[in-house]
Amino acid sequence: MSHPLPRRAQLSLVRRFAEARLRSRDGVVVSGHHNRNVIAPLRQPLALLLGIRSGRTLAKFRTPLPTIEVVPRIWPREAQVLKVVGDRLHGQVPRCLADFGDWSLHDYLPGRSLAQEIPEGPLGPRVRRQLAEFFARLAAVPREALPPLPDDWPADGDSRGFLARLARFTEERVHRPNRSRFGELFDAVGIPRDAMERFMGAVPSLTGRPFVLLHTDVHRANVVVTHGPDGERLSVIDWELALYGDPLHELATHLVRTDYDKAEQEEMVRCWSETMKRSGRPDLTVGLDRDLPVYLGFEYAQSVYPDVMRAALSLPDDPGAPDLARAAARVTRAMGRAREPLGLVERPRDDTEVAQALWAWRREDRERTEERAPTDSPGGAAGHNPPAGHTRTRDRGRAGAGRRTTRPAPPVEPPLALEPAPTGAPAPPDEQAEKRKELRHGG
């Protein structure tokens, strides 16, 4: 359906009506690590402006979240990548209906994520085959169709340069910027300060493979099972972390984040290799047996930072034993998988030691936050009473006369009776809970 409006005027109208739809508050909110998504019908006249006949068509109103940066992003907007892959992987990726720069509007892929269909355990040969075919189709996207790369991006085929770029990003953009807040916790759980240097120092020479477009985050929650005239097929969402580089990095991130068991991991590697060869790209599989373990090791090594930070940030103000148990289990698992890639020889911290470190970090981080918060309103920082375990005092010194400060009460022991984290507990009442079950894939 065509429109007589100039493109700029049309986009302005689309944005105005899209913002009005967001304000209507009749959508379902689904958030991931990187984006807040509101899934709602387009309604008219927004649908008409977008060339969509039915106003009942579901769309995803997608806003990036401020988040800890843990992986490089070489293209600033997801819409840039979706435009390219949408033309070549029709039906397997969402369309970007409108890109407003600071947020965007996508069509919604009806279906259920693999995380809902098969939350754990083997995916089976049919799903593995479809995933391998997706990777082969993605590898066929020509370089010249992609948005421009950064000027200092590694040259095509420089596999070691690509891996070194990823490691440098982890050190310079993940570890160092977050050291002031999380550094003591990193030390306490056993992450060496030279983690990335250690890792790269042990990396042998890598085989040079042609670079291809990579999604880099294909896992159960980002794969949607859709149904069409040709039957069931898999679609992949969340393209904001796409890269251009060594295809073994794509395979490694998929294997780790999909959480295959050892036997199925080997089957998926075999399926991926055979599919690439059948599709006419045997050059992408050269050095597979020798180099894939290196990329798997990097995925385990770099993930200790986001896993520890996310575990810490998941804790409530006053964490109890179950909270600490869940967070500690996440950290000890990450540290266990990174031991070999990082060459760790010290005794690993157990769950109780990690829980103690997390509890101490949460208490100290809360105190730092209070010290930075405004305290000129009645009741203290931002008008709230101090958390349990703190008392208000008034600074009597001349330079700080009349200034309220927060003084920590005498320390108490953390709740370290670590119980198994509860599973399958009923969620609190939520009028949209049933809708969220069906609209879970948000990214």
Q: In 3D, which of 331, 338, 353 has the Cα closest to residue 416?
A: 353
Spatial distance between the Cα atoms of 163 and 346, rounded to a whole number of angstroms: 26
- Decide if 64 contacts 34 (C-beta within 8 A): yes
- Angle, helix 247-258 to helix 288-302, in steps of 10 degrees: 60
Per-residue pLDDT reduced to its tens digit, 111-168: 999 999 999 999 999 999 999 999 999 999 999 999 999 999 999 999 999 999 999 9
| Strands of the sheet with 231-236, listed across from one edge | 112-113, 223-228, 231-236
CA distance 438 to 171: 38
306 vs 439: which has the higher pLDDT: 306
User: What's the average model confidence in pLDDT over 221-232?
Assistant: 86
pLDDT at 418 over 60: no
C-beta of residue 279 within 8 angstroms of C-beta of residue 242: no
**DSSP helix/strand/coil, 348:** coil
Does pLDDT of 441 surpass 70? no
Number of domains into which the chain is organized:
1
What's the rounded Cα separation, in Å, for the pair 299 and 180?
A: 24
> Considering only 22-36, 42-56, 151-165, which range has the smallest mean pLDDT?
22-36
Element of type H or E holding 18: helix 7-23
Is 283 a domain residue? no
List pLDDT tens digits, range 240-263. 999 999 999 999 999 999 999 999
Query: Distance between CA atoms of 427 and 440, rounded to whole angstroms?
Result: 15
Instruction: Give 385's pLDDT tier (boundaries 50, 70, 90).
Output: very low
Q: Where residue 109 falls among pLDDT bands split at 50, 70, 90?
A: confident
What are the structure tokens assigned to 278, written together?
């059948």
Centre a 10 Å sphere on the Cβ of residue 280 and count the other Cβ atoms it contains: 11
pTM of the model: 0.81
Question: What is the spatial distance between Cα 277 and Cα 340, in angstroms, rounded to a whole number?
Answer: 31
The residues pairing with 404 across neighbouring beta strands, listed in sequence order, are 394
Read off the pLDDT band of 3 (50, 70, 90). low
Chain length of the chain: 443
Residue 407: CB partners within 8 Å, gap ≥ 6? 390, 391, 392, 393
**Domain-located, residue 342:** yes
Return the DSSP state at 33: S
Q: Render pLDDT for 55-68 as a digit per residue (tens, 0 to 9).
A: 888 999 999 887 77
pLDDT of 391 reads 36
Q: For residue 144, what pLDDT is reported?
A: 95
How far apart CA 347 and CA 166 sit, in angstroms, is: 28
Q: Does residue 86 belong to any structural domain of this protein?
A: no
- Where does the pLDDT of residue 21 fall: very low under 50, low under 70, confident under 90, or very high at 90 and above? confident
Domain-located, residue 153 = no
Q: Which residue has the higher pLDDT, 232 or 175?
A: 175
Residue 26 lies in a domain: no
Model confidence band, residue 373 (pLDDT cutoffs 50, 70, 90): low
Report residue 248: phi and psi, to 5°: -70, -25
What residues make up the domain containing 341?
159-207+291-374+404-423
**Residue 351 domain-assigned (yes or no):** yes
Instruction: Examine residue 332 and state whether it is found in any structural domain, yes or no.
Output: yes
What sections of 50-171 are H helices per DSSP? 78-88, 114-117, 125-139, 159-169
